[in-house]
């Protein structure tokens, strides 16, 4: 029996929506805070699921596909009467900072499969918000993911260098190591 | 100049203004180009939806600037820089030569 939308966790709802959209030839990738939530074992909690359409932006097709599973567009968001989360589809391209995303991860749940940023790109994505918006919450989110998942530090460093943000990368490293020792 | 690519003269004006001045609000942009407010507001909104610019409220005004996380920002700015070089000198000056340093309050002109 299919789980009710009202009973779905963030991960399950993301998988349910992504699987439905994929069946309509609308592949999407989960990005943003909901990835942090998944990779940090819910240390960070969010109410919105941000998806980027993988290749093209087809808002009208999206609207009609989501309507079939009970999501209605309200302003820039899609809401469902029973769901605990709402959906947002920021316009692509799928990128982390200045770089395109080439590698993705998949999470399988009983409600379907969701494609999402890898933990490493999730760290870079949060760092990008910290680097450019000076957002300390995003820095903490990057640290939570980094503490919970192995990642390639050299890659994150060279990516930070390409973003022109080596000084802030050092701050990330300092805070990461101080939280590792706690 | 970029209208054939962008499909809108107002969009070109908004992008050129933000490139030259780094930030701005709708009324100020419309005034600079001596054009209507509504088309400028519409373009700012559509650029914000597309994550190319972002806005921050300052008092009752929405101030817009380029989104530093937009993945094509470097390339877009390179295009705008080249385009600005093709503008008539007086238009370049109107966009670029604006006092940016602070002026003490009450100072006689």
All domains of chain B in start order, with CATH: 3-90 (1.10.10.10)
> Residue B99: what pLDDT?
66
Provide the CATH number for the domain around residue A13.
Answer: 3.30.460
The reply to whether A81 and A93 lie within a common domain is yes
Q: CB pairs below 8 Å between A and B: how many?
A: 21
Please identify every stretch of chain A with a pLDDT value under 70, giving residue numbers as ranges.
1, 182
Distance CA B81, CA B92 (A): 11
The reply to whether A72 and A152 lie within a common domain is no
From A68, A67, A56, A71, select the one nearest A13 (Cα to Cα). A71
Residue in chain A lying closest to B47 (CA): A91
| pLDDT band (50, 70, 90) for residue B100 | low
- Residues from chain B that touch A76, judged by Cβ atoms under 8 A, are 49
Residue in this structure with the two tokens 């991960």, named with its chain if needed: A11
Task: Kindly report the backbone phi and psi dihedral angles of residue B54, in degrees, each rounded to the nearest multiple of 5, phi listed first.
Answer: -130, 165
The reply to whether A153 and A100 lie within a common domain is no
> Residue A55: what pLDDT?
80
Closest Cβ–Cβ partner in B49, B50, B74 for A98: B74
Range B38-56 average pLDDT: 96
Question: Using the 8-state DSSP alphabet, how is residue A8 labeled?
Answer: -
Final residue of a structural domain among A117, A141, A171: A117
ipTM of the complex: 0.70
Contact A98/B at CB under 8 A: yes
Final residue of a structural domain among A97, A117, A137: A117
| Contact across the interface for B49 and A98, Cβ inside 8 Å | no
Cβ(A142)–Cβ(A135) below 8 Å: no
Q: Mean pLDDT for chain B? A: 91
From A19, A89, A79, select the one nearest A53 (Cα to Cα). A89
> Helix or strand or coil: residue A151?
coil
Query: For testing the chain A interface, which of B69, B75, B78 should be mutated: the one with the most A CBs within 10 Å?
Result: B69
The reply to whether A45 and A113 lie within a common domain is yes
Each residue of A139-175: pLDDT tens digit?
A: 999 999 999 999 999 999 999 999 999 999 999 999 9
In this structure, are strands A99-100 and A28-31 parallel, antiparallel, or unpaired?
Answer: unpaired
Number of domains in chain A: 2
Final residue of a structural domain among A117, A145, A169: A117
Structural domain harbouring A41: 5-117
What's the distance, Cα to Cα, between the start and end of chain A in Å?
44
> Residue A157: what pLDDT?
96
Question: Using the 8-state DSSP alphabet, how is residue A60 labeled?
Answer: H
Dihedral over Cα of A104, A107, A112, A114: its sign:
negative
- Residues from chain A that touch B77, judged by Cβ atoms under 8 A, are none
> Residue A42: what pLDDT?
85
Distance CA A139, CA A157 (A): 15
Distance CA B78, CA A80 (A): 42
Distance CA B3, CA A83 (A): 43
The reply to whether A150 and A132 lie within a common domain is yes
Q: Show which of residues 30-59 on chain B sit within 8 Å of chain A, judged by CB atoms.
A: 49-51
Give chain B's radius of gyration (CA, Å).
14
3-state secondary structure string across B5-60 = HHCCHHHHHHHHHHHHHCEECHHHHHHHCCCCHHHHHHHHHHHHHCCCEEEEEECC
| Contact across the interface for A91 and B71, Cβ inside 8 Å | no
């Amino acid at each position: 029996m299919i789980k009710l939308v009202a009973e779905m966790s963030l991960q399950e709802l993301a998988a349910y929506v992504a699987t439905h959209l994929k069946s309509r030839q609308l592949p999407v990738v989960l990005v943003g805070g909901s990835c942090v939530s998944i990779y940090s074992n819910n240390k960070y909690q969010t109410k919105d699921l941000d998806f980027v359409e993988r290749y093209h932006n087809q808002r009208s097709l999206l609207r009609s596909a989501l309507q079939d599973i009970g999501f209605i567009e309200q302003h820039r968001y899609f809401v469902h009467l029973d769901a605990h989360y709402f959906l947002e589809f920021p316009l692509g391209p799928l990128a982390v900072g200045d770089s395109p995303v080439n590698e993705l991860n998949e999470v399988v749940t009983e409600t379907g499969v969701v494609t999402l940023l890898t933990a490493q790109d999730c760290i870079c994505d949060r760092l990008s918000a910290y680097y450019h918006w000076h957002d300390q919450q995003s820095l903490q989110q990057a640290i939570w993911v980094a503490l919970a998942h192995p990642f390639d530090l050299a890659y994150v460093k060279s990516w930070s260098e390409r973003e022109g943000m080596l000084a802030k990368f050092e701050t990330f490293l300092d805070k990461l190591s101080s939280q590792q020792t706690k | 100049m970029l209208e054939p690519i962008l499909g809108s003269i107002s969009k070109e004006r908004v992008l050129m203004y933000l490139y030259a001045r780094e930030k701005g609000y709708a009324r100020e942009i419309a005034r600079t180009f001596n054009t209507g407010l509504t088309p400028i507001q519409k373009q700012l909104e559509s650029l914000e939806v597309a994550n190319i610019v972002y806005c921050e409220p300052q008092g009752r005004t929405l101030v817009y600037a380029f989104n530093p996380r937009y993945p094509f920002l470097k390339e877009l700015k390179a295009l705008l820089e080249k385009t600005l070089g093709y503008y008539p000198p007086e238009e370049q000056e109107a966009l670029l030569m604006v006092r940016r340093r602070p002026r003490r309050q009450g100072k006689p002109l």
